[in-house]
A and B are shown apart, each in its own frame.
Chain A
Amino acid sequence: MLGYTLRRLAVAVVLLWILSVITFVIYLKVPADPAGFIVDLQHASPAQIAHAHHILGTDRPAVVQYEKYVVRLLHGDLGVSWPTVVFFNGHVQGAAVGHMVWSASLVTGALVFGGFVLLLLVAVPLGTFAATRPRSLVDRLSLGVSVAAISTHPLVVGLLLQLFVGNRWKLLPASGYCTMRQPSAAAIAAWKRFAPTGVPEPCGGAGEWAWHLLLPWLTFALFFVALYMRIVRARMLEVLEEPWVRTARAKGASELHVIRAHALRNAIAPVVTMTAMDAGMAIGIAMYIETVFGLPGLGRTMIRALAGLQGYDLPVILAVTLVAAAAIIVLNLVADLVLIAIDPTVTRRGRGRQRLLGRAA
């Protein structure tokens, strides 16, 4: 098990390395001058542009740039965001990318984790119910809904929820993000004095945080819920056929007890680990949701770094790509390890997900 984990981690490091090289190479091929972050390219003298390149470190050969990046990365330094760079007293200063990406991953993490919790809260009871009454109305309805759900774009769900629930009916906040912590009095005072119209009041606290995340969570859950419901149903149907369920029934246990204590526990564990395997897809969908609802998460950070008018913010692009890939790899590894631990018949080569889907189909 330990050897397996170490081997997988070694592969992961190689993957991340290749990914960073590819990103770097792609960036170098882009016809955009990063000096534009510091000086006005139209009016600056060649010396000023050269100085700007020197500040950003882009005057060195590509290999040296990459080497310096990796060395800094191994020291835990992801660099500074280029649009914020200032040259002051001989020091290069700017917003630390590590900090930016960390706070962004917290937002994405909150979105994805909360979304999965919400969808499991809905999918598990409904899937169980459908399994206990195959071919009932609920069962057939769930099949129809799941077929429709896989054909619905998360952007469509998000935009329609935002437009109708958020904006027109005003049931939930339509966009924006609130931090877990209460905003300071100074921040509110500053907002009252200086903020231009249209900028929302700074908000915070667990209640506001969850309230503002409700629509994004709903969007996320709606996209996955039908799929998970079908999987819970398939797993339940399989487990209910097991001999120990028959034994429990023979003992005279009530149906509710059989399902809750005997069947559900065994049916659910692999489904929970499946959420981790969907991490890659979840991060992609989170990107849509963050964009629509204006959440400062990883996807939106990436898009803003890419959509910049002056140029492309390479340190942020690299950092987000690496963090997202690392998260996907680690979550997949954890899911596989948990699956091996709870189900000895899962081999290390056969992926659990295919097994689950194969049974569900």
Chain B
Amino acid sequence: MGLAETLEARPSEGLRELRPRGQWALAWRRLKRDRVAVGCGVVLLAVVFAVGPGAPLYGKIVGHGPNEFFPYAVSVGLRPAGPFTVTWATPEVAGDNPFALTHPAPPKGTGKTLLLLGADSQLGRDEFLRILYGGRVSLEVAAGAALVAIVIGIVLGAVAGYFGGWADAVISRFTDLVMAFPLLLFLVMIGSLFTHGITDWTVHGLLNQGALQLILIIGAFTWFYPARIVRAQIQSLRHREFVEAAQMVGARDARIMRTHLLPHVLPPLLAYGTLLVATNIMIEVGVTFLGAGIKLPTASWGSLLAQTWGSILSPNPYNPATTQPWLTLCPSIAIFVTVFALNQFGEGLREATDPRSVG
């Protein structure tokens, strides 16, 4: 049997159609092999679930909210209760004897409730629930600010890299200008000066109070790193053959940027965006700790960290009898785990989306 008959004998429908994998499929394949990145991705999913739908769900299960007071969870000596405390679910302490050695029992019929990580301060709020809700605020600020920064970065970076000339000069100078700023100092300044107006916007309840302001401020001061990435990438691509070919057939600049250049820029930006979310969490924590971010009683990881320590104008003096180390440790661990997972996942994404990496 000759070759022609062999080919004839095998109908082409039986053959698997071979298609080259796209860049995203390749990246996904590489990412799946990176065990650290996969682990961190799972942790991230868990964190997002816990602070997203998990927070109200847990609140329903234990039957209270993040801003409810449980004075029975605070001892007469003003020490907040530790983890795994079951306390009376009432916002008031019965009796008013200031010399009592223990709280008197609450009126009959008062239910009990669980504080998984104990009380958050002398106010006796649920620390665990506050960490969940605080994470929601911190993550939405961090992710929102990263989104703002990347959108501004793509637009300005693409314009600077593609058109060059004065647009490039202006944007590059502007980038240098912002980079020379003492960023944190400036964030704190704007955050504490503007305490009215935009702080009350919540975009129909989508965001928490004060989050939008932080998103805009942080985004406005961090866009220059993505802009630099986009600019460098587009500058190196704009004289390549495929761009010239597109120009030759008459494609407009906007179309070239969108369909020919943007796909090259997005993968590294996605990886960078993940790292940016991690940085933004740190910034949110810092700015809120310094009294210029999310305002109480809304919890955020920054305000939870500051809870035991106090505030700038009145740091709490250390008192071994009333200080609960848990209240510093728990938010610290939450921040560390999330930022660590984001950093490692971003690093894995960067490797996976890099066309030069093997696998």
Contacts and interface: CB of A to CB of B under 8 A. Distances in A.
Interface residues of B, number: 44
B328 interface: yes
B315 A306 contact: no
Contacts of B177: 15, 18
Contacts of B285: 153, 155
A272 interface: no
Given A288-B289, A303-B188, A306-B192, A163 B182 contact: no
Give the interface size bracket for A toward B.
35 or more
A317 B189 contact: yes
A291 interface: yes
Interface in B251-291: 278, 282, 285-286, 289-291
B336 interface: yes
A321 B309 contact: no
Nearest to A150: B343
B119 to A, nearest CB: 18
A151 B340 contact: yes
Given A23-B189, A328-B182, A329-B180, A303 B290 contact: yes
A174 B180 contact: no
Interface in A133-155: 147-148, 150-155
A31 interface: yes
A156 B327 CA distance: 12
A153 B325 contact: no
Given A159-B328, A302-B188, A321-B186, A19 B181 contact: yes
A129 interface: no
B194 interface: yes
Contacts, number: 129
A18 to B, nearest CB: 7
B188 A155 contact: no
A307 B313 contact: yes
A26 B180 contact: no
Nearest to A19: B181
B132 interface: no
Contacts of A15: 177, 180
Contacts of B315: 175, 294
Nearest to A11: B176
A155 B305 CA distance: 9
A26 to B, nearest CB: 6
A304 B188 CA distance: 11
Contacts of A148: 336, 340
Interface stretch (B4-12, B79-87, B89-97, B316-324): B316-324
Interface in A63-93: none
A284 B183 contact: yes
B190 A26 contact: yes
Interface in A298-336: 299-300, 302-304, 306-307, 309, 312, 317, 320-321, 324-325, 328-329, 332
A15 B186 CA distance: 14
Interface string B58-92: 00000000000000000000000000000000000
B325 A164 contact: yes
Interface string B168-198: 0000000011001111111011101110100
- By CB atoms of chain B within 10 A, which of A27, A31, A291 has the most? A291
Contact of B305 (A156, A167, A168): A156
B142 interface: no
Contact of A287 (B184, B196, B309): B184
14 contacts: A11-B176, A154-B286, A155-B285, A160-B328, A284-B286, A287-B184, A287-B185, A299-B185, A303-B188, A306-B189, A306-B292, A312-B193, A321-B189, A328-B182
Given A280-B181, A302-B189, 7 more contacts: A150-B343, A152-B336, A155-B286, A156-B335, A287-B184, A288-B290, A321-B185
